[in-house]
């Protein structure tokens, strides 16, 4: 019964490890092995989702390594595995035969395997282990083209930011141990007193960091430096959604702590709104999509905060399909047209309509256009938000309109007529290139993900939605008809305005535009508040070590040597002088004692008389 679950995590992790260790020797076999392992994992995920097994192995004292597939994690595991297959298929075409393919496919499998462990984890060690491995593999994937220092630095920023937030999970684990609730993740809400609040805060910080919510959002912008397939996987079904998933999973903990649910809901809503604005202000397609990831995941976090498991899960699945598709097309354009700048991508969709249509499906999905599934997902979770607070609902609705705006903006650029007059010197690079026909390794994932994005609309239908709710084992608020209608009108309307607006400048002061398009200056703030002070402190402490501590010890040693010199010169002279003095005095006394020894009888007689006289006098006086 437990075999499929162990196999589910072992297949991608073991295949990935073997590929990475084999290195360039396995480059030829890597694509086939990678896709096969991912496909096998998909099959196993489906099996696990239906059988719902659970396994546990002893790891630390009272802290076992546990995995289980229940309704929620089963659905998530299938989503992760499916997106991985599509992205790896795309990778076969995108990562050319000349590149380190074994490393690429191996790391992607490790990354996705770590996400599979994250979603199925039932104990803290299992969660934390996969959580951190996912962060580290994201570093290796973003820095895949390691010769480029910019990409490597970006990878460092992404890893360090997420790891900073991960510290929260360490604290949460410590709180669980201190409070005696170590057996399972689900027990965390039974903690009491300060441990409950510490665990909640730790989980929330870790989740917000991983999901690139405010104020951690900037790392996702940096993560864009990775190859196209990496962005597609990282931004859709893995890594960034891990945080939202954890919050959905640990809803009872948020509720038990009292403040947790509200904090999470408002952070999610705020991120959806603010990063929606950031997305709308981008002129780079991948940056636009990255900001949109933060914003869309903001909705999932909002759902977790208001306790809408169904809405959050719907949003997660639908977003995974649409966003991975959008990133794959963006990656395709980047590889074949050599640009990700929106103005340079004018007309890109018209050059290869298959890719263009796929992108359109993805963008419409992200825009929340009815009847595509993100439309209904947002309404389901916003209905729960409305129950909590009208303000939350209004912010969410505004953020939903924004998602239509940035999607329409991207679509507007790529569907513009191609700039003609190809002899112009400032001609976009792609205009000079010949774009080859789409290979099967690209059309297949495009088609599959487009189909998935459209097909997931079925989740909108009430019976399907209720079936999902039953699978997840929850009953949630369902939106009223007017809410569906409102958002069904709102999205196209906002999109139409954005389309009509086109490439014209927004009438706002330049600093404001620059602030928003620069991801709200978050990275600069992090540098000013955290990075630079720490660096300065490190330098100061190193100087303290060298100049004070080390010098102090050396000074002690030197002082000892100097003391020895002083002793040598002064104390030694004194002691020696004393000895010499005793000798000199003895010698003098000896010389004096020799004086009376004259050898003449009369002197001896005189001495005897004198001595007797003295004796007699003494006797008389003493008596």
Q: How far from the centroid of its chain's Cα atoms is residue 29's Cα?
A: 31
Closer by beta carbon to other proteins, 133 or else 498:
133
Q: How far is the CB of 191 from other proteins (least distance, A)?
A: 12
SS3 percent helix, strand, coil of the chain, rounded to 5, is 80, 5, 20
Burial of 490 (0-12, 13-18, 19+ CB in 10 A): middle
Q: How far is the CB of 175 from other proteins (least distance, A)?
A: 7
Choose, by CB under 8 A, the member of 390, 475, 535, 607 that binds other proteins.
535
**x/- map, 16-55, other proteins, by CB under 8 A:** -------xx-------------------------------
Sign of CA dihedral 283, 286, 289, 290: negative
Number of H helices, E strands in the chain: 28, 2
Choose, by CB under 8 A, the member of 22, 59, 354, 398 that binds other proteins.
59
Separation between Cα atoms, residue 175 and residue 249, nearest integer Å: 18
Structure tokens at 427: 């001609």
Structure tokens at 245: 């998933």
Note whether 537 binds other proteins by CB under 8 A.
yes
Choose, by CB under 8 A, the member of 496, 502, 545, 569 that binds other proteins.
545
Separation between Cα atoms, residue 415 and residue 485, nearest integer Å: 28
Tell me which H or E stretch contains 122.
none
Structure tokens at 73: 């994690």
Separation between Cα atoms, residue 394 and residue 384, nearest integer Å: 12
Note whether 142 binds other proteins by CB under 8 A.
no
Give the range of 175-183, 452-460, 477-485, 590-598 binding other proteins by CB under 8 A.
175-183
Choose, by CB under 8 A, the member of 550, 555, 559, 577 that binds other proteins.
550
Alpha-helical runs (H) found in 473-519? 481-501, 510-517
Choose, by CB under 8 A, the member of 25, 32, 50, 146 that binds other proteins.
146
Choose, by CB under 8 A, the member of 128, 196, 206, 295 that binds other proteins.
128
Phi, psi of 604 (to 5 degrees): -60, -40
Q: How far is the CB of 159 from other proteins (least distance, A)?
A: 7
- Residues 198-227 touching other proteins, rule: CB under 8 A, are 198
Closer by beta carbon to other proteins, 99 or else 262:
99
Note whether 572 binds other proteins by CB under 8 A.
no
Contact 26, 102 (CB under 8 A): yes
Choose, by CB under 8 A, the member of 1, 58, 593, 619 that binds other proteins.
58
DSSP state of 338: S
Q: Which residue has the tokens 């260790």?
A: 21
Q: How far is the CB of 549 from other proteins (least distance, A)?
A: 5
Positions touching other proteins (CB under 8 A) are: 23-24, 58-63, 125, 128-130, 132-133, 136, 139, 143, 146-149, 152-153, 156, 159-160, 163-164, 167, 170-171, 173-180, 182, 198, 534-535, 537-539, 541-542, 545, 549-550, 553, 557
């Amino acid at each position: 019964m437990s075999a499929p679950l162990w196999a589910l995590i072992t297949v991608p992790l073991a295949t990935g490890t073997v590929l990475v260790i084999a290195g360039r020797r396995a480059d030829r076999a890597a694509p086939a092995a990678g896709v096969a392992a991912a496909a096998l994992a998909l099959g196993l995920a489906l099996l696990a989702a239906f059988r719902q097994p659970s396994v546990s192995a002893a790891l630390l004292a009272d802290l076992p390594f546990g995995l289980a597939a229940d309704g929620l994690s089963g659905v998530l595991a299938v989503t992760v595995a499916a997106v991985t297959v599509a992205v790896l298929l795309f990778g076969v075409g995108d990562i050319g035969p000349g590149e380190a393919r074994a490393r690429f496919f191996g790391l992607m499998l490790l990354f996705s395997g770590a996400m599979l462990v994250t979603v199925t984890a039932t104990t803290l060690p299992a969660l934390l282990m996969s959580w951190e491995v996912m962060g580290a593999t994201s570093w290796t994937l973003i820095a895949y083209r390691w010769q480029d220092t910019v990409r490597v630095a970006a990878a460092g920023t992404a890893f360090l930011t997420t790891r900073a937030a991960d510290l929260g999970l360490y604290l949460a684990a410590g709180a669980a141990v201190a409070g005696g609730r170590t057996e399972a993740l689900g027990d965390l809400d039974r903690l009491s007193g300060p441990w409950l609040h510490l665990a909640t805060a730790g989980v929330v910080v870790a989740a917000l960091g991983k999901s690139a919510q405010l104020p951690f959002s900037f790392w996702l912008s940096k993560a864009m430096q990775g190859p196209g397939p990496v962005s597609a996987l990282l931004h859709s079904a893995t890594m960034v959604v891990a945080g939202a998933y954890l919050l959905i999973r640990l809803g009872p903990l948020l509720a038990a702590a009292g403040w947790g649910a509200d904090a999470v809901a408002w952070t999610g809503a705020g991120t959806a709104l603010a990063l929606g604005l950031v997305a709308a202000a981008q002129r780079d397609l991948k940056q636009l999509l990255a900001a949109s990831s933060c914003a869309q995941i903001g909705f999932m976090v909002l759902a977790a905060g208001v306790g809408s498991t169904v809405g959050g899960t719907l949003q997660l699945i639908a977003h995974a399909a649409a966003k991975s598709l959008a990133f794959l097309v963006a990656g395709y354009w980047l590889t074949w047209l050599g640009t990700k700048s929106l103005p340079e991508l004018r007309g890109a969709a018209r050059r290869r309509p298959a890719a263009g249509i796929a992108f359109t499906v993805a963008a419409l999905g992200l825009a929340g256009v009815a009847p595509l599934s993100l439309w209904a997902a947002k309404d389901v979770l916003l209905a729960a938000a409305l129950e909590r607070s009208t303000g939350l609902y209004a912010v969410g609705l505004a953020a939903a309109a924004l998602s239509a705006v940035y999607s329409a903006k991207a679509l507007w650029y790529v569907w513009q007529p191609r700039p003609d007059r190809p002899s112009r010197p400032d001609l976009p690079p792609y205009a000079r290139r010949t774009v080859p026909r789409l290979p099967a390794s690209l059309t297949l994932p495009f088609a599959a993900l487009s189909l998935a994005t459209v097909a997931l609309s079925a989740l909108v239908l009430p019976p399907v939605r209720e079936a999902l709710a039953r699978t997840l084992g929850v009953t949630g608020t369902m939106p009223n008809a007017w809410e569906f209608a409102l958002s069904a009108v709102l999205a196209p309307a906002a999109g139409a305005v954005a389309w009509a607006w086109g490439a014209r400048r927004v009438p706002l002061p330049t600093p404001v535009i620059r602030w928003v398009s620069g991801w709200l200056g978050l990275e600069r703030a992090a540098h000013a508040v955290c990075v630079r002070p720490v660096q300065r402190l490190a330098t100061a402490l190193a100087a303290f070590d060298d100049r004070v501590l080390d010098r102090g010890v050396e000074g002690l040693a030197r002082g000892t040597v100097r003391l020895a010199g002083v002793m040598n010169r002064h104390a030694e002279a004194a002691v020696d002088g004393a000895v010499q003095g005793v000798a000199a005095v003895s010698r003098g006394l000896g010389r004096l004692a020799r004086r009376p020894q004259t050898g003449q009888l009369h002197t001896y007689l005189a001495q005897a008389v004198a001595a007797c006289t003295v004796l007699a006098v003494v006797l008389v006086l003493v008596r």
